[in-house]
A and B are shown apart, each in its own frame.
Chain A
Amino acid sequence: MSGLRILVPVKRVIDYAVKPRVNRAQTAVETASVKHSMNPFDELSIEEAVRLRERKLPVEEIVAFTAGPPKAQDILRTAMAMGADKGIHVQLDEKDASQQLEPLGVAKLLKKVVQEQKSNLVILGKQSIDDDAGQTGQMLAGLLDWPQATQASKVDIEGDVVTVTREVDGGVETLKTKLPMVITTDLRLNEPRYASLPNIMKAKKKPLEKKTLRDYEEKFGARLKTIKVTEPPPRKGGVKVEDVDGMISKLKELGAL
C-alpha cells in the first residue's frame, strides 16, 4: 500500500459552551457576534490523523477541509496548527440560499475533494453540534462505495487493513475492513491537543487553497426547507425540598413514584 492520504473535513460551529438563542423571526439560531469554534468531533478527527503519523504510519499528507463563510478559515488554521499539512477552504456566501449546504451536498462536495486529493482515508466527526444530523460521513462512504466505520473509539491501521472499535448501543463492537475508507469519530477516540504558539505561527505559513462551489461540477442545492425554528417549550419551574422525605412525598404527588 502506498502512504495514507488523509482528508479531514472540519466545520465551524457555535462554540459548544454557548447556549444558542433562536432569532426573533424564528428562521434560525442567532449566529451574529456569537463565539464560534471548531466542531468538537472534528478536533478529534484532526487529532487522530496526527496521531497516525506520530505512530510512524506512512502518512503522506493530512488535508484539512472546510466549506463555510470566510471566517471558517480560522478553524483551518487551527487544524493546521494541530498538525494538518494544508487546508482547503470552499468559501460559501451565507446570504446565497443556493450555497446553504446540507449533509448530502457536503458529501457530494467531499467526494470531489477525495478524488482530487487522491485521499484514501477520510476522518470526520460523527456529528456537528449545530444541526446534530450525523449523516455526512455515511453519505460520503455511500457515494464513494467505500467501507465506513462510524462512532469510532479506537482505530488501528496495519498495511491497508483497518481495525476500528465502534461505540454502539449497549457497548462496543469491532470491525475489520480495508482502505480506502471513511471513519467518523466518537468522543472517546482521543484527547485533542492544544495547538502550541510555535505551531500556530508555523500554521500561518502552511498552504491554504481557496475555492468556491463553482470549482466543483455538481449540484449542491438544498432539499430541505426550514419552516420555522422555535425555542423548546420551557420546563415549569420546580420546587426545592428540604429533605429526603420531602423529595419522596413530592415525587409521589407528581405521580413519579
Chain B
Amino acid sequence: MFSAARLSVLRQARTQLRCTQPTAILHHSALTRLLSTLAVLEQREGKLNVASLAAVTAGGKVGGSVTAFIAGSGVKAAADEAAKVKGLEKIIYVENGAYDKGLPENFAPLLVENIKKGGFTHILAAHSAFGKNLMPRIAALLDTQQISDITAIESEDTFVRPIYAGNAILTVQSLDSTKVITVRGTAFPIPETEGGSTAIEEGVDPKAECPTEWVSEDLAKSDRPDLGSADKVVSGGRGLKSKEEFDRLMPPLADALGAAIGASRAAVDSGFADNSLQVGQTGKNVAPQLYLCAGISGAIQHLAGMKDSKVIAAINKDPDAPIFQVADVGLVGDLFDKVPELTEKLKSQ
C-alpha cells in the first residue's frame, strides 16, 4: 500500500518535473490568449468610418485577439463592411438609433456593459473627436487611467505618447488591469479592408437614458481628401493676409497637387479659413507624405500638428522663420508670387 502510494507520488513529481518546460510555454501562450482588445469603431449614417480602423491596427500590436465594436442604426451594413477588415477575430454590433451620434452619456454605459461581458483587457479607439469625447468617460466608469493619443506600443502595458505639444516623448507603463487608450491615426496605418471574413454577433444593449439631445451639425463640405488622412497637405498662415487671398491662392495649389487644405491657428483666428482646417496642438495632427506651407512662421503649437510629415516644404519671406528649421525644402520669397508660380508649374507637369 505504502510503497504504491509513494510510487504514485513519485511518478506525479516526475511527471511534473518533465512538464516544467512545456508548462512554461503553455503559461506564456495562456497569457497571450488572455489579452484581448476591443477596438471601438465609428460610423456615420450606417457607413464605417475607415479612419477609426487605426484602433484595429493598434490592437494587433498589443498581441492577443482583436474584437471590433460598432453601434448605431442600420449598423449591420457597417459591421459587414468591417467584417472584411483583416486582423479581426469578431465584430460586436449594437443596432439602436440612440447611438447614432456617439453621445457619451449613453454610449459609455453601452460600451462598459460590452467590455465587462467580453472581459477585454485593452479598449482602443482613434484619437478623434468621437474617441476624445467618449473614452475618458469610459475610463472613469472602469476606474482606470486612460492613455491618450499613443504613437507606439512597446508591450501590452507600455505605450509611447507625445506630451508638451510633441516637444517631449513619454514612455509610460500602465498599472491598471484594463487599459483604455486612444491612438493617433497617423501613427497606425489602417489595416487591409478586404479579404477578411470575421464573425459578427450582436452585443448587449443596456439602453441607458441619455439626457443630451443632438440638435444639428454643420460640417465643412469639400471634395478634397480628408485633412487627417491626406497624402499631401497644403497649408496657409497669417502671411496670406485675408480670406480672399487664402481662397484665391490655396485651393488651386491644393488641386494641382491633389492635396487637402490646412491652416495655422493664426489664419483660422483671423477668419481666413474654417476652424476644422486648423493644424496644430489644438487642431488636427497630420503626417502626410508632403506638407507644403506658405506664410506660416512655425510656432510650437503648429509644429506639434505637422512635424511628423515625411517631407516638409515651406515658403516664407522671413529667412529666420522657425519653420525653416524643420522644413526639408525652404524657399525664401513672397508667397503672393511664389504660390501662383508653383501652382502653374505643377499644373503644367
Residues of A within 8 A of B (CB): 14, 16-17, 19-20, 22, 29, 102-104, 107, 126-127, 129-143, 147-151, 153, 163, 166-178, 186-188, 222-232, 235-248, 250-251, 254-257
Asked if B346 and A169 sit within 8 Å, CB to CB, the answer is no
Q: A133-B148, A256-B310 are known contacts. Are A240 and B140 too (CB-CB below 8 A)? A: no
Mark each residue of chain B from 151 to 177: 1 if its CB lies under 8 Å from any CB of chain A, else 0: 000000010001111111111111110
Asked if A29 and B329 sit within 8 Å, CB to CB, the answer is no
Q: A167-B129, A174-B217 are known contacts. Are A243 and B169 too (CB-CB below 8 A)? A: no
Tell whether B193 is near chain A: CB-to-CB under 8 Å: no
Asked if A135 and B139 sit within 8 Å, CB to CB, the answer is yes
Tell whether B91 is near chain A: CB-to-CB under 8 Å: no
Q: Which of A171, A175, A254 contacts B311 (CB 8 A)?
A: A254
Considering the complex, which residues of chain B in the window 313-335 have a beta carbon less than 8 Å from any beta carbon of chain A? 313, 315, 319, 324-333
Tell whether B61 is near chain A: CB-to-CB under 8 Å: no
Chain B residue at minimum C-beta to C-beta distance from A28:
B168
Asked if A238 and B214 sit within 8 Å, CB to CB, the answer is no
Asked if B163 and A148 sit within 8 Å, CB to CB, the answer is no
Q: Which of A132, A223, A241 contacts B281 (CB 8 A)?
A: A132
CA of A132 to CA of B284, assembled, Å: 13
Which residues does chain B contribute within 8 Å of A139, judged by CB atoms? 136-137, 139-140, 146
Asked if A256 and B132 sit within 8 Å, CB to CB, the answer is no
Chain A residue at minimum C-beta to C-beta distance from B215:
A174
Chain A residue at minimum C-beta to C-beta distance from B322:
A19
Asked if B290 and A224 sit within 8 Å, CB to CB, the answer is no
Tell whether B219 is near chain A: CB-to-CB under 8 Å: yes
Which residues does chain A contribute within 8 Å of B130, judged by CB atoms? 168-169
Chain B residue at minimum C-beta to C-beta distance from A170:
B219
Which residues does chain B contribute within 8 Å of A129, judged by CB atoms? 164-165, 281
CA of A51 to CA of B304, assembled, Å: 31
CA of A87 to CA of B340, assembled, Å: 54
Chain A's nearest CB lies how many Å from the CB of B88?
24
Which residues does chain A contribute within 8 Å of B174, judged by CB atoms? 223-225
Chain A's nearest CB lies how many Å from the CB of B46?
18
Q: A132-B162, A247-B329, A254-B311 are known contacts. Are A150 and B301 too (CB-CB below 8 A)? A: no
CA of A29 to CA of B33, assembled, Å: 37
CA of A170 to CA of B162, assembled, Å: 23
Asked if B133 and A138 sit within 8 Å, CB to CB, the answer is yes
Asked if B171 and A169 sit within 8 Å, CB to CB, the answer is no
Can you identify 28 A-B contacts, CB atoms within 8 angstroms? Answer: A20-B164, A29-B163, A29-B167, A126-B282, A129-B165, A132-B164, A142-B136, A153-B275, A167-B276, A169-B130, A170-B220, A173-B215, A174-B217, A188-B275, A227-B172, A228-B171, A229-B163, A231-B169, A232-B168, A235-B307, A237-B325, A238-B312, A238-B329, A238-B330, A247-B329, A248-B342, A250-B329, A255-B289
Asked if A168 and B342 sit within 8 Å, CB to CB, the answer is no
Q: A139-B140, A224-B147, A251-B313 are known contacts. Are A131 and B129 too (CB-CB below 8 A)? A: no
Asked if A176 and B215 sit within 8 Å, CB to CB, the answer is yes
Asked if B290 and A247 sit within 8 Å, CB to CB, the answer is no
Q: Which of A138, A225, A250 contacts B104 (CB 8 A)?
A: A138
Chain A's nearest CB lies how many Å from the CB of B339?
9
Asked if A102 and B169 sit within 8 Å, CB to CB, the answer is no
Chain B residue at minimum C-beta to C-beta distance from A225:
B173
Asked if A223 and B137 sit within 8 Å, CB to CB, the answer is no
Chain A's nearest CB lies how many Å from the CB of B187?
13
